[in-house]
A and B are shown apart, each in its own frame.
Chain A
């Protein structure tokens, strides 16, 4: 198993009573809730945590992009990745990812990633996403063109990385007379591309395609959902005529390790609840603007959502039960991941060791225990080969 340390960089000082006045920590929440002096402290604390991850032996350090929200403060993830690029020496740096459709000049992403790849002598992993629904409000980009713009921007960036310039790019949303990237990326033909997703058949069909074989990351989902989409990826690869490598499958999940199961639960509970119930809180128009997903996905998601809203907010116990956080003693966490790897087949674990309001001391303690007591045990574990062929045979 390989280990990536993921950070969202939430605004940890958020006044959680904001929910009495505002529907979401995204876009509608006035930025008077943000104190730059505290922000200074958090940015530097979180960068320290990622740098500590390099010392602890994580294979990659992961940052991401979100806008106008207390949920994640990395509106420009390249700035954070740039800060990490000189202070870390060993771990890869994964930007998971840039939200391509939201950008009017995708060549700036090609440039940003190529610079990071040059500075780090090829330690960059390039993540591409579509951004979340509400970000189509904050950028004004029409969600109806989200998929078109994603595919077109991706094609432009990969061409800019791999073709000798200058050449012309003729798209519907992006047109350039002169594409001639300086610098070219350090890695040849280009940095590895990872696709984080909340789970979508269209995304899997596209990422698994033999021309791409991009690594697929299932983010913040219940274990059975992770299993379903990872198996869908393997089946899709089989249909395309190849066997997916377990390194093509990643699971992004909050993790908390403490001395015992009981201590871990007690220490993590309020903070994991803050992540799901406060930082991630979003009404339907924020979450799913029309056109952001295909018509059929939208129908399905809305009916699921109708079935689950109006109920109570999930407790830490519910979240642990569904595998929305893996929490416990080193032994519990080891066994849980070993078991899930056997059943699901992934080889990339993207662990988020800080979440919501989790303070610095607990974050560091949990990271240390995870790196020293969990990672070494799982390091040489791989998914059983027969499970993968069985999945393909079942298709």
Chain B
């Protein structure tokens, strides 16, 4: 039984921001990846059984405004610091995938005072020299969708899904903002790595063994750079472990968050 999240609009830093919220408990803020939030996913539903889950559309994505100030991922990090304050969130579990995880890390090197834990899933944001990343900006939409998953049935389902005209517009809008934030340097900030040591939070790193966007050496680099972090690598899983291995992801996250909640 999938619960329907409530949707609200909150203006932060002049940006009308679209938020989905569901569940009760300690707050979890989920920062989506470059494709945006296409649906209330099963992992969100299960997380909202135990937590108050908050899923915003990033500035320039989904149904949120495109603010004039939005130039890069660092802007998103400051924006989310504002949003966390505006919502009055404390002892927050901050989690994200791909560029959403990149935003979370950028936020955490700046201010962790309201955070309890940090979870990075298939994170963008750092460069591992000599390890090539896939380039979604050189792929057709179909090639990109196929590259996201280990199990092709997930890709098939996504490619078969019919989109309304509004959903088509949102997909194109997401592509525009995704490129604006991640084009150059492609999927990393040269400054982030210099300051990652400032993250002294309990940190969970989740990765698909078959991640074709950011391969496993990236996971190992994050694990090395964040002292005391926990690394979980899922077998037979691509770039979106929270989608492809939803049960396993919810179990990993819950175990970690409960251990580190104090």
Contact = CB atoms under 8 A, between A and B. Distances in A.
Q: Does A pair with B? A: yes
A283 B137 CA distance: 12
A288 to B, nearest CB: 10
B176 A285 contact: no
Contacts of A298: 172, 176
A144 B181 CA distance: 9
Contacts of A145: 180
A298 to B, nearest CB: 7
Contact of A144 (B139, B176, B186): B176
B64 to A, nearest CB: 15
A360 interface: no
B52 to A, nearest CB: 34
B138 A285 contact: yes
B147 to A, nearest CB: 13
Contact of B172 (A141, A289, A295): A295
Interface in B107-146: 137-140
B237 to A, nearest CB: 26
Nearest to B136: A285
Contact of B176 (A284, A295, A302): A295
B140 A137 contact: no
B180 A291 contact: yes
B139 A285 contact: yes
Interface in B153-192: 169, 172-173, 175-176, 178-180, 183-186
A289 B184 contact: no
Contacts of B184: 140-142
A290 interface: yes
Contact of B178 (A137, A141, A290, A302): A290
Given A295-B172, A299-B172, A289 B179 contact: yes
A224 B245 CA distance: 53
Chain A contact surface mostly:
helix
A331 B77 CA distance: 66
Give the interface residue-count category, chain B.
10 to 19
B25 to A, nearest CB: 38
B183 A144 contact: yes
Nearest to A134: B138
Given A140-B184, A142-B183, A144-B176, A290 B140 contact: no
Interface residues of A, number: 19
B183 A143 contact: yes
Contacts of A290: 137, 172, 175-176, 178-180
Nearest to A294: B176
B179 A295 contact: no
Nearest to B178: A290
A168 to B, nearest CB: 22
A1 B24 CA distance: 75
B140 A283 contact: yes
A146 to B, nearest CB: 11
Contact of B179 (A144, A283, A299): A144
B124 to A, nearest CB: 15
B180 A142 contact: yes
Nearest to A284: B140
Interface in B207-227: none
B139 A291 contact: no
B190 to A, nearest CB: 13
Contacts of A285: 137-140
Among B137, B138, B140, B178, residue most surrounded by chain A Cβ atoms (within 10 Å): B138
B176 A137 contact: no
A142 B138 contact: no
A81 B72 CA distance: 38
Contacts of B173: 295
Interface in A287-346: 289-291, 295, 298-299, 302
Interface in A132-183: 136-137, 140-145
A121 to B, nearest CB: 40
Contacts of A137: 137-138
Given A141-B184, A142-B183, A291 B176 contact: yes
A283 B178 CA distance: 20
A298 B177 CA distance: 14
Contacts of B183: 136, 140, 142-144
Interface of A: 136-137, 140-145, 283-286, 289-291, 295, 298-299, 302
15 contacts: A136-B183, A137-B137, A140-B183, A140-B185, A140-B186, A141-B184, A144-B183, A284-B140, A289-B137, A289-B179, A290-B175, A290-B179, A295-B176, A299-B169, A302-B172
Given A144-B179, A290-B178, A302-B172, 13 more contacts: A137-B138, A142-B183, A142-B184, A144-B180, A144-B183, A145-B180, A284-B140, A290-B137, A290-B172, A290-B179, A290-B180, A291-B179, A299-B169
